[in-house]
Amino acid sequence: MALIFIAGLLLWGWLEISVFIFISNEVGGLLTFLGVFLTAIIGITFLKKQGLSVLSRVRSDLARGHAPVVSIADSIALVVGGALMLIPGYVTDSAGLFLFIPGFRTIAGMYLLQWVVKKPNVTSFVNFGGSVFRQRNSNQDPFGFSKQAHHQTEFDDVIEGEFEDRPDAKLHLNQKKRDHRNDS
């Protein structure tokens, strides 16, 4: 697995340098260099604009009582796309730009979300739909979220306690002081 990662990293570096040299031969070195900064600025602008719209969609989903899975997937894809746009190079900028396209962003975000949730060090800390991810039923959706706004299971946390109304502590101290003065 590490060998595949190293080979992919070397291939990516070679591709980035090749594209950079090709573009600099076509338009010149200064314009190529300025293009890298321009794509970073465009990526930050896209991330801010589309990130705010995804955040408002998450809020509206939560207000309606729905699990914001699609909105979270979109936000994950936006973060990855923004990070790719900030890395210097035209290949990573192209990949990051694709992650800002709404339909492609959702598909890529769902894939990334499923990939993250399947990691063993994440699944032990994630609780989806009231049941631990490893114990979910196969008839649920891939993330284990219920279609209903809320349902109770045996895994729901129940906190019980008793309530006792007590008077204000300062008032109680002042009353004791007055009673003590009256006794003297």
Q: Read off the pLDDT of residues 49-62 as tens digits, 9 standing for 90 and up.
A: 877 888 888 888 88
Nearest to 145 by CA among 131, 155, 134, 157: 131
Beta partners for 132? Answer: 127
Average pLDDT over residues 80-101: 87
pLDDT of residue 166: 66
* Sheet strands (E) in 37-137: 127-128, 131-132
Token pair recorded at residue 79: 């973060």
Nearest to 115 by CA among 125, 123, 124: 123
Beta strands in 75-143 (DSSP E): 127-128, 131-132
- Output the pLDDT for position 60: 86
CA neighbor of 36 nearest in space, from 19, 14, 51: 19
Residue among 151, 46, 67 nearest 113 (CA): 67
More confident residue, 161 or 85: 85
Distance from C-alpha of 12 to C-alpha of 92, rounded to nearest angstrom:
9
CA distance 59 to 110: 19
- Whether the pLDDT of residue 137 is over 50: the answer is no
Indicate whether 132 pLDDT > 60: no
- Work out the average pLDDT over 127-150: 47
pTM over 0.85: no
